[in-house]
Structure 1
Amino acid sequence: MSDGSRGRDVVVPDRLYKSVTVFSTLFAVVAVVGGFVALDAATNAGRAAPDEVNVFLAAFGVGLIAAGGLVYAFASRFRAGGMATDKDSDDEPTDNG
């Protein structure tokens, strides 16, 4: 690309970037923490026998953890127009610090 960004980056206006960053991070943190709470409740803090584990709640917890990670990963693709590119880009020399 001519602006030096990699193909996976999405350049958005500054205000949208801030909104995406705030809300995606908030959702990701709440989902991951909620997933661990659900997983903890399903396994009785890891002390439950295998036949006592609530499989639905455990699967829900793992799903929440995965959803939080996916949201955070996809939200990291956004960047504002004036943000610098990483130093491993093709347009940067390898001795730039």
Structure 2
Amino acid sequence: MTPADQPDPSEEPTATTPDDPSTSGSAVTGADGDGSADRDIEVPMRVYKAVTVFTTLFAIVTVVGGFVLLDSATNRATASLDEIQPVAALVAIGLILAGAAAYAFSTRFRAEGMGKSKDDTDENTDNG
């Protein structure tokens, strides 16, 4: 094999060939075009219910607690700049972000057999 025939090591090999019909669409966006197929995690219904309940509870407690702490750190948003407690305010913002992140992460889970309504193909397309 001559040096001209050897593949360039900087080129990454593709996992599938372009003629493969199973690769229609982008590998990054997933099957439905918005990337959700790559991010969804299918779990049993019992796990789905537990994840949904506890992450929602955690999200509510941390977000509400974060706003209460932020309110306290800024003295109901009436404190002057010298009176604000910056550490408490940063912790409050962190709690709010943690609650939002936990809730957003929990939306990745779905139970077996669950699908998105836009993926349902057995519905009639007429309005009658």
TM tier, smaller: 0.7 to 0.9
Superposition map of 1:1-97 within 5 A: 6-87=37-118, 89=119, 96=125
Distance change >3 Å, CA 96–CA 40, structure 1 → 2: farther
Secondary structure at the aligned position of 2:39 is classed as: coil
Whose radius of gyration is greater, 1 or 2? 2
Deviation at residue 96 of structure 1 after TM alignment? 4.9
Which string of whole-angstrom CA distances, capped at 9 and with x for unpartnered residues, describes residues 36-55 of structure 1? 00000000000000010000
Secondary structure at the aligned position of 2:65 is classed as: helix
- Equivalences, count: 92
Alignment-mate amino acid for residue 22 of structure 1: V
Secondary structure at the aligned position of 1:49 is classed as: coil
Q: Distance in 2 between matches of 1:37 and 1:28?
A: 14
Q: Distance in 2 between matches of 1:96 and 1:69?
A: 36
Alignment-mate amino acid for residue 61 of structure 1: A
Runs of at least 5 residues in structure 1 that lack an aligned partner in the other structure: none
RMSD of the TM alignment (CA)? 2.4
Deviation at residue 85 of structure 1 after TM alignment? 2.1
Distance change >3 Å, CA 96–CA 44, structure 1 → 2: farther
Higher helix share: 1
TM-score, with structure 2 as normaliser: 0.65
Give every structure 1 segment of 4 or more consecutive aligned residues whose post-TM-superposition deviation is greater than 2 Å: none
Which string of whole-angstrom CA distances, capped at 9 and with x for unpartnered residues, describes residues 2-46 of structure 1? x97711100000000000000000000000000000000000000
Identity of aligned residues (%): 52
Structure number with higher relative contact order (C-alpha < 8 Å, ≥ 6 residues apart): 1
TM-score, with structure 1 as normaliser: 0.85
